């Protein structure tokens, strides 16, 4: 019987894990090497100690309603997209509300996590920690690793001949970036067009003499602001849209998606993406198209090599007098504190059962939390993982036999990609994955059942945003406030905008009622079909 649980890391995954352990009557002890909670979301000016944090200007890409803990909505007066300071304040509120801080040992580093000699029967772990130079050894019944996937900067210098032998300028990884002031008046090349590369290119364009952005993949750019000014993820991440992605042929869904993306601006004209591309990524950035249009950012293809002061690109063009190369090439992850025999069981998260459990361990007492990249908020995914894992530790849920877990891993494991920093290796459909884990934990809501008992709620769940409160309607951890949180989510979204009220006599409530009535047959049909033929965990956004 698991009782004592070690939680490594006090970021969002660690906080959720502590809370879920307490919900299941377990005894968590969290080891956090820094002096505070928040993980990478706790911004600091310091570049020392190898700690990774966000840059000064960062704002969340997912809205507050789609990113919050499932039984603790963000304050209604918080904006929909949070600067890092407000998000950290939300984590503090969550920690105070559920009394989590007393279970965290700050300034304590986990040096090693090793199986005990009797692990095959006990499932126990020996955890060695260090606090202020003093080492301690602890015995735990289970371990939850919550260090995430932003662990070690991936700096692929070998793919850029000349960068470390001939180039006379400065080069650095985006981990070292805090703000744009150090780049004032310089000619900067940003390598990598993920969310970070796009954000930094825009920010640097305000002070740099020139910014070049090197992209090697097809990239679609979307805005946080969607139809009628609502958050993009709340409008698009719905069970109805997810049903259409499953129901319609993939060629049709891709065409619809590309047409939607191009309705903002033609990506081919900007050199970003073509509708003929089969592999692509999506980034969130409202300002990048204007920067490209105004010439303050210039898009370039993949870098072929560097000379003393220039970059030569695959298309044969050269940009001279480059002062700084900023690599926004992502992160790799390793778990140096885990003993080698355990690390060797999974080369990446695709070797983990449900992206959580090493399936070949004799006892399922090690869980990797948050090592997953979703098309929605990883915060929600990490909490969902923690709820299922702690239910297993407490004996309420069971894992299948090792052979079935291995078969599931092999079935879902895609071909290995060349670049270990490509987080497409981790990316999964938000709804598919959270529903899958929720089903394992017995907390997935049934739209069909709700249609018969609470039609208003069922329609809000099916046609509205798939907010995390949906996973608090049934099963263990059911929250009495979940229904109200779902039905008032749009009010909380609009509340911070009501700082100046204008007269608008139009009332869309009647139209909404008629739409719900017309949509009822669709929801019933979808619920029936999905109860008989559940869709696979395929992501419509991963390309």
Ordered strands of the 4-8 beta sheet: 104-105, 27-31, 4-8, 142-145, 366-368
Model pLDDT, residue 333: 84
Model pLDDT, residue 345: 87
User: What is the mean predicted confidence (pLDDT) over 34-48?
Assistant: 88
| pLDDT one-digit tens code per residue, 426-440 | 479 999 999 999 999
β-bridge partners, 142? 5
Residue 300 has pLDDT above 70, yes or no: yes
User: What is the mean predicted confidence (pLDDT) over 152-178?
Assistant: 95
Band of the pLDDT at 52, cuts 50, 70, 90? Answer: confident
Model pLDDT, residue 523: 57
Q: What HEC string does 388-457 produce? A: HHHHHHCCCCCCCCHHHHHHHHHHHCCCCCCCCCCHHHCEECHHHHHHHHHHHHCCCCCHHHHHHHCHHH
Which tokens sit at 205? 């364009």
Cα torsion 523, 447, 13, 350: sign: negative
Residues counted in the chain:
543
Q: pLDDT > 70: what percent of the chain? A: 89
Model pLDDT, residue 125: 98
CATH superfamily for 154-329 is FAD/NAD(P)-binding domain (3.50.50.60)
- Domain limits, the chain: 4-151+333-412, 154-329
Model pLDDT, residue 525: 63
Model pLDDT, residue 517: 56
Model pLDDT, residue 529: 59
Residue 505 has pLDDT above 70, yes or no: no
Residue 475 has pLDDT above 70, yes or no: yes
Model pLDDT, residue 522: 61
Model pLDDT, residue 362: 95
Residue 164 has pLDDT above 50, yes or no: yes
Band of the pLDDT at 143, cuts 50, 70, 90? Answer: very high
Distance CA 171, CA 180 (A): 15
Residue 417 has pLDDT above 60, yes or no: no
User: What is the mean predicted confidence (pLDDT) over 237-243?
Assistant: 97
User: What is the mean predicted confidence (pLDDT) over 173-202?
Assistant: 96
Q: What does the mean pLDDT of the chain come to?
A: 91
Model pLDDT, residue 113: 98
Model pLDDT, residue 197: 97
Band of the pLDDT at 498, cuts 50, 70, 90? Answer: very high
Ordered strands of the 318-319 beta sheet: 303-306, 311-313, 318-319
Q: Which candidate, 350, 393, 372, 359, places its Cα nearest to that of 144?
A: 393
| H-helix segments, 169-281 | 195-204, 232-236, 239-247, 250-262
Model pLDDT, residue 541: 36
Band of the pLDDT at 538, cuts 50, 70, 90? Answer: very low
Model pLDDT, residue 95: 98
| pLDDT one-digit tens code per residue, 347-383 | 767 899 999 999 999 999 999 999 998 999 999 999 9
Band of the pLDDT at 278, cuts 50, 70, 90? Answer: confident
User: What is the mean predicted confidence (pLDDT) over 173-179?
Assistant: 94
User: What is the mean predicted confidence (pLDDT) over 2-8?
Assistant: 96
Specify whether the CB–CB gap between 4 and 27 falls below 8 A: yes
Residue 511 or 70, more confident: 70
Q: Return the minimum-mean-pLDDT range out of 20-24, 236-240, 255-259.
A: 255-259
User: What is the mean predicted confidence (pLDDT) over 317-329?
Assistant: 98
- Out of 3.50.50.60, 1.20.1250.20, 3.40.50.2300, 2.40.30.20, which CATH number does the structure's domain 4-151+333-412 have? 3.50.50.60
User: What is the mean predicted confidence (pLDDT) over 479-497?
Assistant: 97
Residue 418 has pLDDT above 70, yes or no: no
Model pLDDT, residue 526: 59
């Amino acid at each position: 019987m698991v009782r004592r649980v070690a939680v490594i890391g006090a970021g969002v995954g660690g906080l959720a894990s502590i809370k879920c352990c307490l919900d299941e009557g377990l005894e968590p002890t969290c080891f956090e090497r820094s002096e505070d909670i928040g993980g990478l979301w706790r911004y600091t000016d310091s570049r020392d100690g190898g700690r990774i944090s966000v840059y000064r200007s960062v704002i969340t890409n997912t809205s507050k309603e789609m990113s919050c803990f499932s039984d603790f909505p963000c304050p209604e007066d918080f904006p929909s997209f949070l600067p890092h300071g407000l998000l950290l304040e939300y984590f503090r509120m969550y920690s105070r509300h559920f009394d989590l801080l007393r279970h965290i040992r700050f300034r304590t580093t986990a040096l090693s996590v090793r199986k005990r000699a009797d692990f095959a029967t006990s499932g126990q772990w020996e955890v060695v920690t260090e606090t202020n130079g003093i080492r301690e050894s602890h015995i735990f019944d289970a371990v939850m690793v919550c260090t995430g996937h932003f662990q070690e900067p991936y700096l692929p210098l070998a793919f850029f001949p000349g960068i470390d032998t001939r180039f006379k300028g400065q080069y650095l990884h985006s981990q070292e970036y805090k703000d744009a002031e150090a780049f004032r008046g310089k000619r900067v090349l940003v390598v990598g067009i993920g969310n970070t590369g796009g954000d930094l290119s825009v920010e640097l364009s305000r002070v740099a003499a020139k910014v070049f952005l090197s992209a090697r993949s097809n990239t679609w750019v979307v805005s946080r602001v969607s139809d009628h000014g609502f958050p993009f993820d709340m409008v698009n991440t719905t069970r109805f849209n997810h049903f259409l992605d499953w129901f319609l042929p993939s060629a049709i869904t891709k065409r619809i998606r590309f047409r939607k993306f191009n309705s903002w601006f033609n990506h081919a004209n900007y050199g970003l993406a073509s509708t003929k591309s089969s592999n692509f990524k999506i980034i969130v950035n409202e300002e990048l198209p204007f920067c490209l249009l105004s010439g303050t950012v210039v898009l370039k293809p993949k870098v072929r090599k560097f000379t003393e002061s220039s970059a030569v690109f695959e298309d044969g063009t050269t940009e001279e007098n480059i002062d700084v190369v900023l690599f926004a090439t992502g992160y790799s992850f390793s778990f140096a504190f885990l003993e080698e025999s355990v690390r060797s069981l999974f080369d990446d998260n695709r070797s983990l059962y449900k992206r959580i459990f090493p399936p070949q361990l004799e006892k399922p007492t090690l869980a990797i939390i948050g090592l997953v990249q979703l098309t929605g908020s990883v915060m929600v995914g990490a909490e969902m993982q923690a709820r299922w894992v702690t239910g297993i530790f407490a004996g309420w849920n069971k894992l299948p036999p090792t052979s079935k877990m291995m078969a599931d891993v092999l079935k879902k494991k895609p071909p290995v990609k060349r670049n270990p920093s490509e987080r497409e290796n981790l990316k999964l459909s938000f709804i598919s994955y959270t529903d899958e884990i929720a089903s394992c934990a017995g907390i997935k809501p049934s739209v069909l059942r709700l249609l018969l008992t609470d039609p208003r709620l069922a329609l809000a769940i099916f046609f509205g945003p798939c907010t995390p409160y949906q996973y608090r309607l049934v099963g263990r951890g059911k929250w009495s406030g979940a229904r109200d949180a779902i039905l008032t989510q749009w009010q909380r979204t609009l509340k911070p905008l009501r700082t100046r009220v204008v007269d608008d006599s139009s009332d869309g409530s009647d139209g909404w009622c008629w739409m719900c009535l017309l949509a009822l047959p669709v929801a019933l049909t979808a619920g029936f079909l999905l109860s008989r033929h559940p869709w696979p965990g395929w992501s419509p956004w991963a390309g």
